[in-house]
Amino acid sequence: MASAPNTALISAYRAAAWVATPFARLLLASRLKRGKEDAARLNERFGRTAAPRPKGPLVWLHGASVGEMLSLLPLIDRLRGRGFHVLLTSGTVTSARLAAQRLPAGAVHQFVPLDSPLFLRRFLRHWRPNLVLLAESELWPNLITEVNARRVPLVLVNARMSPRSFASWRRLPRSASALLARVDLCLAQAEGDGQRYAKLGAPRVTVTGNLKFDAPPPPVDEAAFDALRQATSGRPMLVAASTHEGEDEVVIAAHRGLREAIPGLLTIIAPRHPQRGPAIIEAANGEEVPAVLRSDGYLPDRGTQIYVADTIGELGLFYSLAPVALLGGSLVARGGQNPIEPAKLGAAILHGPHIGNFEAVYDRLDTEGGAAKVTDAPSLAAAVRRLLDEEDARVRMTEAARATITSLSGALDRTLAAIDPYLVQIRLERH
């Protein structure tokens, strides 16, 4: 695809990025203090690396954080199966840790460089990708411009454009069009996403569905599962997964309201940001609810009522163990969390009203009886009590959720079919 001309706004953004580049270390130092960077890998944010580029065709995939990265794993497996080397980038410490656990052999993880022309040129000179796949809503102007300048095909996969983001871009129509003109293909999650991208000027928009439906459920460590199951010895359980600040108090209050009605209840709180674990312990103890931290090496005993799972990569374990799951980020305005994983692992799903990140999925689940909405501590307590007391109702919900998720799968095959011409072309050029 030919390079598109810059608008004044894109040119100003690029100029500002050049000016800001010398101050990048200050930005990263601030993020490092807040636990948002890996000190041992800061050079990757400047486009530097000690990792060698593998010989042969290489596909660069980028997913901003955990959810995007996990949705790309099945696609990475397929690409590796076809003989392509894979470079996966992301921007969060948590996603990097999960990549170390979940990436197949022959795939390399790097932190994505900051959106500076200097850093991106350094990165691209080293890795020389043959194809670039950007997941969901990653529209970094310098990244897209630098890839386009090298005539490397760039495809948006699992592309998502929220109404809010669309409204923001609509205020900059020429810049949006100029940026998206550099994209070879846009593979949208849903019709609404596709329409919004098309209206902004993206060429060749195709709706392929959501790759998250095709992702395997998170792995479960058998030894850890057996140890935790033995420690809980059949106790009724609720897991509050990926909670944000402001939700833990609701969960603790619901637990207090359920203690007499459901003797022995154990509530597992797995915070979205594990470093919040001690604060959750403090909040629970303040409400006279005994709590322990998993990262301290504790297993829950009979006196434990709140078990704070401040670890990474273990949600599959808790979804498999607890029959009921509250998905966090939904009782506060954080857009909700992915319900596909608990649905595949058989946990009954509860969520709050703030589900904008996964609205279409939750709408289907709620309509089909595969999930239920709660709004506060009393409604959460009532829903948990019903699902723990009425096994038939819980089984109906979990079966409906699993059937709904299965019916929405297929995006992986459609995505591979759409990018196959690029993969064939790479093979031809190599020969």
What is the distance between the alpha carbons of residues 117 and 223, in angstroms, rounded to a whole number? 47
The Cβ-side half-sphere exposure at 231, using a 13 Å CA radius, reads 18
Percent of the chain with pLDDT over 90: 90
**Residues sharing a CB contact under 8 Å with residue 292, sequence separation 6 or more, in sequence order:** 281, 298, 300, 304, 306, 307, 308
What is the distance between the alpha carbons of residues 136 and 320, in angstroms, rounded to a whole number? 28
Residue 3 pLDDT? 66
What is the distance between the alpha carbons of residues 68 and 62, in angstroms, rounded to a whole number? 8
b/e 400-431 (16+ beta carbons within 10 angstroms → b):
bbeebbeebbebbeebbebbeebbeebeeeee
> What is the dihedral angle through the alpha carbons of 131, 137, 139, 144, rounded to the nearest 10 degrees?
0
Question: How is residue 325 written in tokens?
Answer: 């799951």
Q: How many Cβ atoms are within 10 Å of 42's Cβ, its own excluded? A: 17
Q: Give the catalytic positions in this structure.
A: 68
Q: First CA to last CA across the chain, in angstroms?
A: 22
Mean pLDDT of 70-78: 95
The secondary structure of 322-373, three-state, reads CCEEEECCCCCCCCCCCCHHHHHHCCEEEECCCCHHHHHHHHHHHHCCCEEE
Q: Is 260 exposed, middle or buried (0-12, 13-18, 19+ CB in 10 A)?
A: exposed
pLDDT at residue 360 tops 90: no
Question: How is residue 248 written in tokens?
Answer: 């833990």
What is the distance between the alpha carbons of residues 190 and 360, in angstroms, rounded to a whole number? 9
pLDDT tens profile 276-314: 999 999 999 999 999 999 999 999 999 999 999 999 889
Give the confidence band of 164 by pLDDT, cuts at 50, 70, 90.
Answer: confident
> What is the dihedral angle through the alpha carbons of 220, 225, 229, 230, rounded to the nearest 10 degrees?
170
pLDDT at residue 20 tops 80: yes
Across 5-19, 282-296, 367-381, 411-425, least confident range: 5-19
- DSSP symbols for 366-410: HHTTSEEE--SHHHHHHHHHHHHH-HHHHHHHHHHHHHHHHHT--
pLDDT at residue 420 tops 60: yes
pLDDT tens profile 113-140: 999 999 999 999 999 999 999 999 889 9
What's the pTM value of the predicted model, to 2 decimals? Answer: 0.84
What is the distance between the alpha carbons of residues 347 and 354, in angstroms, rounded to a whole number? 20
Task: For the chain, list the domains and their CATH numbers.
Answer: 8-209+410-430 (3.40.50.11720), 222-407 (3.40.50.2000)
Packed helices 191-200 and 173-180: angle between N→C axes, nearest 10 degrees: 110
pLDDT at residue 74 tops 60: yes
Question: How is residue 73 written in tokens?
Answer: 């794993």
pLDDT at residue 211 tops 80: yes
Across 5-9, 211-215, 396-400, least confident range: 5-9
Closest CA to 130 of 72, 59, 76: 59
